[in-house]
Structure 1
């Protein structure tokens, strides 16, 4: 049985019995651009999912030919009519967008991007911000800001944390579109599949992760992103403390006991 929730037409929500929450961007007419409305819907959805114990894994998908075309440039351009030529408005929108990207990283639930079509600029940033990504083999990715005199500086933050410097700089400096297979080669996505198998492949990964202890997943995801920003010595000191606390958790005790006794663990998510 599935619970279908539609808080707004722009972002559809579907939560199944296994705890997999599917968030589907549904603004195909604007190529699922990160308009103010879309950013607000995404921010609210990730905030709610993060504290909902029924949600174990989140899939971020999209309807239409584009996964996400980045910022809504028509909406942004309208801000130039303000007395400050749009500075306050641009600052507000960039803060909203950065907030959504950080909400994905900070969400205790694993987030998987299911990518069809194109993901450009902040749309590519959205993919890079997710913990995992599976793409249709027809999907394409780019950070094309240089073509219009606007360097993709905020997408650069997520991109540079996913792929090696030379690959990130090539995308940022040329603005060229890359194929799904190339995105997999450089680590922007985990794998590619034919589009007919995309939803199934994403669900298989989501269900595999959802079967684990949610406490363990939250501990691991939070620790991963925290240690990444540290030096080697500090990272090991931090991770060692996390391991000790994790060892004392009930689910670690249960999981280790189940492994020794050769039985399936009964998670309590604690």
Structure 2
């Protein structure tokens, strides 16, 4: 079981920006917001905490400083090479912890929106690709440059290859070159590109739209989206049809449809 005991709170700042909207901020700017084991641990715990908070409808994931995230903390990992096993145990645990944190974002019933100012590389790029939505500054860029240092970005590849066309993903992985925000938008890695300094406002605007909807309906839809994407076409339709029936039986579906027919705003019960 993933250990979610307390971690240094300062590594990931958490606040409720306004009713229904939680914000998590990577707060290790002096280390380019590298994903150390402690940061991974703290982010995982906060995602699960906000995901279980009934008052939260959407989560914005931002970062302090000029770099969104440079990926894994290579200094931390290199220091472990002096251990008896050459660091293998630590590397295995770190990759497992990071993968579990990424899966927690996908499993979170609340949509998670990346607000990207600056550069997102390697596992930092993976983090952006893993989030449900992403807004980037026009000066942001993205890269999976591990191949340049002899460490292929195999785990970032999982999220990247599920968000951008295969040839583009392989280009990023094999060449290790940076992708501009404009290219990230055209390839589907991010949803919107805005002027520098406007990223958080744009992300909050998207979060407000989500927060105005039924939390239970959004949770049903998010879970179904990721589940059906892994199925064959026939199985996906069978699964999605069953989800639609279950959704139709909820109180909020009944209220929403009645409100639409009666030309009024729905009053969600979130169930």
| Shorter-chain TM-score above 0.5 | yes
Structure 2 counterpart of 1:3: none
Structure 2 counterpart of 1:148: 149
Q: How far 1:14 sits from its partner (Å)?
A: 1.1
Q: How far 1:7 sits from its partner (Å)?
A: 6.8
1:251 equivalent to 2:224? Answer: no
Structure 1 counterpart of 2:194: 193
- Counterpart CA distance in 2 for 1:51 and 1:125 is 23
Query: What's the CA shift string for 1:228-266, capped at 9, x where partnerless?
Result: 000000000000000000000000000000000000000
Q: How far 1:17 sits from its partner (Å)?
A: 3.8
Matches for 1:172-183 after TM superposition, within 5 Å:
172-183=173-184
- Counterpart CA distance in 1 for 2:257 and 2:214 is 12
Query: What's the CA shift string for 1:140-169, capped at 9, x where partnerless?
Result: 100000100010000000000000100000
Q: How far 1:196 sits from its partner (Å)?
A: 2.5
Aligned length: 265
Whether the aligned pair in 1 keeps the contact of 2:8 and 2:38 (CA below 8 Å) is no
Structure 2 counterpart of 1:106: 107
Task: Provide the alpha-carbon RMSD of the alignment.
Answer: 1.0
TM-score of the two chains, using structure 1 as the length reference? 0.97
Q: How far 1:79 sits from its partner (Å)?
A: 1.2
Whether the aligned pair in 1 keeps the contact of 2:62 and 2:200 (CA below 8 Å) is no
Structure 2 counterpart of 1:55: 56
TM-score of the two chains, using structure 2 as the length reference? 0.96
Runs (4+) of structure 1 moved beyond 6 Å? none
Structure 2 counterpart of 1:26: 27
SS at match of 1:114: strand
Structure 1 counterpart of 2:264: 263
Query: What's the CA shift string for 1:59-78, capped at 9, x where partnerless?
Result: 00001010000000000011
Structure 2 counterpart of 1:12: 13
Whether the aligned pair in 2 keeps the contact of 1:18 and 1:207 (CA below 8 Å) is no
Query: Which one is further off, 199-208 or 129-138?
Result: 199-208
- Counterpart CA distance in 1 for 2:185 and 2:73 is 27
Matches for 1:160-239 after TM superposition, within 5 Å:
160-239=161-240
Q: How far 1:16 sits from its partner (Å)?
A: 3.5
Whether the aligned pair in 1 keeps the contact of 2:29 and 2:66 (CA below 8 Å) is yes
Query: What's the CA shift string for 1:114-165, capped at 9, x where partnerless?
Result: 0000000000000000000000000010000010001000000000000010
Structure 2: 5+ residue runs without aligned partners?
1-6
Query: Which one is further off, 13-22 or 83-92?
Result: 13-22
Query: What's the CA shift string for 1:205-238, capped at 9, x where partnerless?
Result: 1100110000000000000000000000000000
